[in-house]
Amino acid sequence: MLETARDFLGSAKSYRQAVRHQQRSLVYDDRQENSLARRGAALAHSTLWHWLSWLGGLTRTLQSAMQLISQKFPGHHLHRQRIHIDPRKYRSDARGETLEQAGWLLLVEGVFEQRMKNRIFPRFATGCGWR
């Protein structure tokens, strides 16, 4: 999920292009006991927006992770980073802000893993109440 979200935000890909890998649809693993898997259902492009809007809504998790990084590494310049979202990826300011927040969370997640030697998901985010 995070990899697909990063790929979408960091490229010129559309939602439809981002849910494909090497020109093939991403499908559920048919070895699972799941009706979607048995049908070989593909990941819908709208699912990517749902993921990004969920990530963009985790403001408490984002703030807590940034605060922890700045406490442990006071010289880190994370707060000076810029998140650029291609304006062609959204039509409304609200959607653009959501994508920017998701981009921030993905950036912080990478720094968190590198510096703290741990991932934000699932334990840290759970401790923040998934907010």
pLDDT in tens, 89-124: 999 999 999 999 999 999 999 999 999 999 999 999
Q: Tokens 């959501």, residue?
A: 98
Q: Rounded CA gap, 129 and 60, in Å? A: 8
Cis (ω within 30 of 0) for the bond into 87? no
The answer to whether the beta carbons of residues 121 and 58 sit under 8 Å apart is no
Which stretch of 35-39, 84-88, 106-110, 116-120 has the lowest confidence by average pLDDT?
35-39
User: How many independent structural domains does the chain possess?
Assistant: 1
Q: HSE of 120 in the Cβ direction (CA atoms, 13 Å)?
A: 28
Structural domain for 44, as ranges: 2-127
Q: Label residue 11 left, alpha or beta by phi (over 0 means left) and psi (-120 to 50 means alpha).
A: beta
Tell me if the bond preceding 122 is cis, omega within 30° of 0.
yes
